[in-house]
Amino acid sequence: MRWLIVMLLAVALGIPGCTSKEQKSNKIQVVTTLFPLFDFARTIGGDKAQVTLLLPPGVEPHSFEPRPDDVVRVNHADLFVYTSPAMEPWAVSIIAGLDRGKVGIVEGGKGVAMVPAPEVDGHADHHGEAQQKGPVLDPHVWLDLDNARHIAGNILAAYVARDPANKGYYQANADSLDNQLAALDQRFKETLAKSPKKVLLHGGHYAFGYLARRYGLKYVSASAVNADAEPTPTKLAELVQLMRREHLQYVYTEELLSPRVAETIARETGAKVLMLRAGHNVTRDDLQRGVSFVSIMEENLQNLKTGLQ
């Protein structure tokens, strides 16, 4: 019922029409859901695309609920880029109301094999409405840099299909991005292979499974894939014991969510707290200083190198 109301309001706000600004622009209009998609789309599109991020700066995406004007924005776009139904179940509802003849739908994670998320505290919390049946999948696929390259390739294909006359331009931009991601992937492999510690303990929701799997780390999180889940006292005690048993000096927290759990573990063990960014979204300050997905992952690599000593 909520989504029916949203769609009706969106229609009432004038989805079929375009703003004067859009009428004057010859650039491809692109709306993306998460920051990695936004960064890849603006890099590949260059000056031939106008790319916007649907999430407001600083908003945690797992609990995001689109407003009627968000639906209007997407309906005015040429391309709508999202990760997958597993990551953004709310995007599925937006897509259901789009004019498919006008808006190209780009599932960035299409073709990437998702893996099941482990149970935490004896159960697996569901990530969203799209996963209420069957095993719960880990949707944070972009944190494996090989997957990130695949996502960028899907975005490139959408640009070329929309504007084949400028294929060479998009391809050159995509090749440059792919080279950056490949080089960063290699630095992750070389750096983390030398790390004395191989246990990544995270006081947040299960977001870094793909990263850990690719780079040979054992990943333990306080909560399951649901970002709103809270660890039980039993789970917290287990994490404290693990910190002591593995002689870990650092516990990780993540951006946009409370560091309370990580701080509790650190207080109990004498450890320090380090940031590890999943990159779903960024702050307004990040946007203003031109942060990129590559720079976020470079920061992650430095913090992993520090925390796994």
Decide if 29 contacts 22 (C-beta within 8 A).
yes
Domain 190-307, CATH number (from 3.20.20.70, 3.40.470.10, 3.30.420.40, 3.40.50.1980): 3.40.50.1980
Which pLDDT score, from 0 to 100, does residue 51 have? 98
Q: What is the CATH number of domain 2-182?
A: 3.40.50.1980
Beta bridge partners of 49: 28
Please determine, for residue 221, whether its predicted confidence score (pLDDT) is greater than 90. Answer: yes
Please tell me if the domain spanning 2-182 has the same topology as the one spanning 190-307.
yes
Decide if 276 contacts 202 (C-beta within 8 A).
yes
What average pLDDT score do residues 60-88 get? 94
Number of H helices, E strands in the chain: 12, 8
Which pLDDT score, from 0 to 100, does residue 134 have? 66
Which pLDDT score, from 0 to 100, does residue 195 have? 96
pLDDT band at 230 (very low <50, low <70, confident <90, very high): confident
What average pLDDT score do residues 221-241 get? 89
DSSP per-residue codes, 107-124? ETTTT----BPPPBTTB-
Give residues with Cβ within 8 angstroms of 93, minimum separation 6: 3, 6, 66
Give the Cα separation of 119 and 115 in Å (integer). Answer: 13
Please determine, for residue 37, whether its predicted confidence score (pLDDT) is greater than 70. Answer: yes
SS3 (DSSP) at 268? helix
Segment of 9-18, 125-134, 293-302 carrying the highest mean pLDDT = 293-302
Please determine, for residue 128, whether its predicted confidence score (pLDDT) is greater than 70. Answer: no
Q: For the chain, give the mean pLDDT.
A: 89
Which pLDDT score, from 0 to 100, does residue 169 have? 98
Which pLDDT score, from 0 to 100, does residue 222 have? 95
DSSP H/E element including 151? helix 145-162
pLDDT band at 136 (very low <50, low <70, confident <90, very high): confident
Which pLDDT score, from 0 to 100, does residue 120 have? 63
Which pLDDT score, from 0 to 100, does residue 133 have? 57
The DSSP 8-state label assigned to residue 170 in this structure reads: H
Domain extent listing, the chain: 2-182, 190-307
The total of other beta-carbon atoms located within 10 Å of residue 168's CB is 9
Q: What are phi and psi of 171, to 5 degrees?
A: -65, -40
SS3 (DSSP) at 36? helix
